[in-house]
Every structure is written in structure tokens, then in C-alpha cells.
């Protein structure tokens, strides 16, 4: 049976789809029914009307995230529309639950109009503790996220932008450490100028990369000061003084290549012109800009990462969003801000440096792989249960320290709760 047949059978067998809603309170007797619904349900309604914060105590809001899409930029499929994107959003819900025990309603909005999307999310926001925007095309996604962050008092996070940025930034911190470099001195070439590329380069700057040391390249070539063709306000942020006009020219002497574009764009000859110990993150999916074996064939000293699970150092967004939302929800954060993102980056980077402590279950899930911190292990594996224990507290702490948490928590008690969550998730 081929992949297509396996995938269709997986989604169709038994109850169609991948998610369902289950009650968390008993409702088997007349008394329980009267508490779950009328007349008892009126009491929490009146309390929430008196104090809206009590919705976190009396409803599922505090552990409920909306995964919102209009299907305009579904990974590998393009603008397939809201309904066709629903299997992906259900899948996202499975990942939230599987990795961080967060409940999800997937919301597919049948509109390509940013104003309609913004207003729809604003209207349904009281249902949720957080909003995860997904598979919405650039540049509309920038405006949608920015506007919603301004109008809502719950976390809004566009994973297509920030997920790849956070995971690859953790990998970059470790690669820079392993090669004896410093963030403020590295020269970065980024192939791609979409949502993920813009957000990734912004985060790299936030972590110390100098703006003039980033060359962003789109389908028309290097983005340089004075270029007019194919520009927008988001690309303009990365326009620099440069004589380079092509990806091939930009790669000469570069320390880091970041690929968020298309398969096969990078040739071995380009890799060969990079600086010693090049860092090559070719993250186009499903096929990278250049494969790690092709990189290592010409530069054995390279450190490589891709978006694929069949090569070392997979930059997988599942290492980020479940745990970032877990930490944000648990302190009732009003937003996911830059300190929280940086905290997630550093927590992931630190965890990878503890490769000698990888649980046996992770080793069994990836037979034959080495987990010693080094060129082949610069980011943790998605099935490492310690990711929850590292990232969620780091994000929660950053939220409290940066003033966006509405609830302060005891971190020691929180650690105990998260260990219990790991056990509960393992039983799913």
C-alpha cells in the first residue's frame, strides 16, 4: 500500500478525522445533568459576568487554543482553500494534545480578505485562551497577526512565521558555539523572503546577528538598497548595501546559509565558496535546497540541518508551538512577546547540549542515531519529553518577568505539574 492509500485509510477508518470532543465532568445522573446544564450552569455564568477572569476557573478556556486558517498557504499545497486545509488543522490539534496536553478547536475561515479574518477571530476570541494562526499566505499574514495582537488580550502566534524561526535559532546558537563563532560576527545568507524567512531573520537579529550581515535573496535575487522590483515593506527591512545580485554571489564567504525557499536551488559549487565550517540550514519542505550528503561531499566540516526527519538536525515546528503555548497559557499571558520567544530558543539550545541525558525512549525511537552534542545533534528530537520540561517553564518565566502574565506561578510546583503532564501524555 502506497503513502496515499495509507494516509487516506488513516483518516477515514473508524470515526472520520483525527480529533473529537470529550466531556471532562460526569453527566450520568439527573443531579449531574442539572449541574452540567440547567439550572446549575447559571451559577458560573453569573460569576463570569461579574468577573471575566473567572472564565479560566469555570470553563475550558485556559487550556483551549484556536488553530485558525483560510487555507491560502498550506505547506506544499499552496492556496487550496479553507475546507481542504482542515485535515492539516486537525493534525495541528493532534500535535498540541500529544505534546503539551492542550485542547484545540480548528477554525477554517472561508475568506481571502484579511479584514474578514481579523474580525472573525476577534469575534470568537472569548472562547479561547490563545490563537494559533496557520497556513495564511504572506504578506497578509503579517497584518493579520499584528492587528490581532493589538486588539486581543490573549496570545496570538503565527506558527509559520515564528515556529521555524525559534527552532532554527536554537540550532544556530549551538552551531555557532560549536564552530567557535560569535553571533555578532557571522554572515548569513537567507534564500526566501516569505513569512518564515522574514520572521527567522528578525529573530536572528534579536539574538545578535548584525543587520548588515544578513543578505536576503528572493526569486528576483538579492534584496539590496535601491531595488524596486518585487519589493514590499517587509522585504525593505532587509535591504542592505551590497554589490551581490544573485544567490551564487551572496554565498561567497558566508558563514551561514538559511534556506526557506525551494528544492534544489543551491549547488555544491555554492557551498564550496562558503567560509570554513559552513552552517547550512536547508529547510525547504519536503525537499531541501541542497541535501546534507551533497553538502558534506564538498565540505566535510559543515554543520547541516533540514526540515526532514530522515537527516540529522530536523528543524521541526513541533519543538516549539505546543510548549510555547503551554507556558503562555499556564500564566494566562496576554501575548507571546519577544522575551518569551528568546526564552524558548535558549531552552531548546540548552537541552540539546544535554545529549548525554537523552531518555532511552527517545533513543529507541531513533535507532542508530548518536545523541552527543555536536554537528549531528544541535537540536532536540520532537519525541524527547524533556522539551516540555525545559521550554514551557522558560516561556512562563519570561512572561512573568516581562509583565505580560496575569497569573504568577510557583516554578517548583509548576515543574511537578509538568512532570505529571508528561506521564499523562505518554498514556495518550
The answer as to whether 1 is a domain residue is no
Do 202 and 83 belong together in one domain? no
pLDDT at position 369 is 82
Q: Whole domain around residue 187: which residue ranges?
A: 162-306
Q: Which three cell numbers stand for residue 99?
A: 505534546
Do 94 and 26 belong together in one domain? yes
pLDDT at position 361 is 83
Do 294 and 337 belong together in one domain? no
What is the pLDDT tens value at each position of the chain, 428 positions in all?
899 999 999 999 999 999 999 999 999 999 999 999 999 999 999 999 999 999 999 999 999 999 999 999 998 899 999 999 999 999 999 999 999 999 999 999 999 999 999 999 999 999 999 999 999 999 999 999 999 999 999 999 999 999 999 999 999 999 999 999 999 999 999 999 999 999 999 999 999 999 999 999 999 999 999 999 999 999 999 999 999 999 999 999 999 999 999 999 999 999 999 999 999 999 998 899 999 999 999 999 999 999 998 899 999 999 999 999 999 999 999 999 999 999 999 999 999 998 778 888 888 888 888 889 999 999 999 889 999 999 999 999 999 999 999 999 999 999 999 999 987 776 55
The answer as to whether 6 is a domain residue is no
Do 112 and 240 belong together in one domain? no
pLDDT at position 189 is 98
The answer as to whether 369 is a domain residue is yes
**Looking at 4, 20, 28, 37, which residue is catalytic?**
37
Q: Catalytic annotation on 92? A: yes
Q: Catalytic annotation on 234? A: no
Do 171 and 300 belong together in one domain? yes
- Of 158, 173, 199, the domain-final residue: 158
CATH of the domain at 192: 3.40.50.720
**Looking at 18, 56, 58, 92, which residue is catalytic?**
92
Phi, psi of 26 (to 5 degrees): -70, 145
- CA distance linking residue 167 with residue 172, whole number of Å: 9
The answer as to whether 25 is a domain residue is yes
Do 85 and 181 belong together in one domain? no
The domain total for the chain is 3
pLDDT at position 426 is 67
- CA distance linking residue 411 with residue 428, whole number of Å: 26
Amino acid at each position: 500500500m502506497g503513502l496515499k492509500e495509507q494516509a487516506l485509510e488513516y483518516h477515514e477508518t473508524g470515526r472520520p478525522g483525527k480529533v473529537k470532543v470529550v466531556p471532562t465532568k460526569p453527566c450520568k445522573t439527573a443531579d449531574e445533568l442539572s449541574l452540567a446544564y440547567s439550572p446549575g450552569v447559571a451559577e458560573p455564568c453569573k460569576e463570569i459576568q461579574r468577573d471575566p477572569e473567572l472564565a479560566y476557573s469555570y470553563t475550558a478556556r485556559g487550556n483551549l487554543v484556536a488553530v485558525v486558517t483560510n487555507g491560502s498557504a498550506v505547506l506544499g499545497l499552496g492556496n487550496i482553500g479553507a475546507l481542504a486545509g482542515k485535515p492539516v488543522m486537525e493534525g495541528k490539534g493532534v500535535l498540541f494534545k500529544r505534546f503539551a496536553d492542550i485542547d484545540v478547536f480548528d477554525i477554517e475561515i472561508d475568506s481571502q480578505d484579511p479584514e474578514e479574518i481579523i474580525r472573525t477571530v476577534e469575534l470568537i476570541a472569548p472562547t479561547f485562551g490563545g490563537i494559533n494562526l496557520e497556513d495564511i499566505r504572506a504578506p497578509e499574514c503579517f497584518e493579520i497577526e499584528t492587528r490581532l495582537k493589538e486588539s486581543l488580550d490573549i496570545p496570538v502566534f503565527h506558527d509559520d512565521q515564528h515556529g521555524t524561526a525559534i527552532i532554527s535559532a536554537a540550532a544556530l546558537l549551538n552551531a555557532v558555539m560549536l564552530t567557535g563563532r560569535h553571533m555578532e560576527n557571522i554572515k548569513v545568507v537567507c534564500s526566501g523572503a516569505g513569512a518564515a524567512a522574514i520572521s527567522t531573520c528578525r529573530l536572528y537579529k534579536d539574538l545578535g546577528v548584525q543587520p548588515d550581515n544578513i543578505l536576503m535573496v528572493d526569486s528576483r535575487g538579492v534584496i539590496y538598497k535601491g531595488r524596486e522590483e518585487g519589493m514590499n515593506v517587509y522585504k525593505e527591512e532587509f535591504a542592505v548595501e551590497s554589490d551581490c545580485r544573485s544567490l551564487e554571489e551572496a554565498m561567497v564567504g558566508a558563514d551561514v546559509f538559511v534556506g526557506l525557499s525551494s528544492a534544489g536551488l543551491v549547488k555544491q559549487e555554492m557551498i564550496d565558496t562558503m567560509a570554513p565550517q559552513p552552517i547550512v540550514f536547508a529547510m525547504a519542505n519536503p525537499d531541501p535546497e541542497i541535501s546534507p550528503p551533497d553538502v558534506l561531499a564538498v565540505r566535510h566540516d559543515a554543520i547541516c540541518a533540514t526540515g526532514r526527519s530522515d537527516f540529522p538536525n530536523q528543524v521541526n515546528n513541533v519543538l516549539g508551538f505546543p510548549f510555547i503555548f503551554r507556558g503562555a497559557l499556564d500564566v494566562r499571558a496576554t501575548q507571546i512577546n519577544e522575551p518569551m520567544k528568546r526564552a524558548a530558543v535558549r531552552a531548546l539550545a540548552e537541552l540539546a547540549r544535554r545529549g548525554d541525558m537523552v531518555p532511552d525512549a527517545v533513543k529507541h525511537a531513533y535507532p542508530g542515531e548518536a545523541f552527543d552534542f555536536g554537528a549531528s545533534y544541535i537540536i532536540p528530537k520532537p519525541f524527547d519529553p524533556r522539551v516540555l520540561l525545559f521550554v514551557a517553564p522558560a516561556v512562563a518565566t519570561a512572561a512573568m518577568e516581562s509583565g505580560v502574565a496575569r497569573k504568577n506561578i510557583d516554578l517548583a510546583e509548576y515543574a511537578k505539574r509538568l512532570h505529571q503532564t508528561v506521564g499523562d501524555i505518554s498514556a495518550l
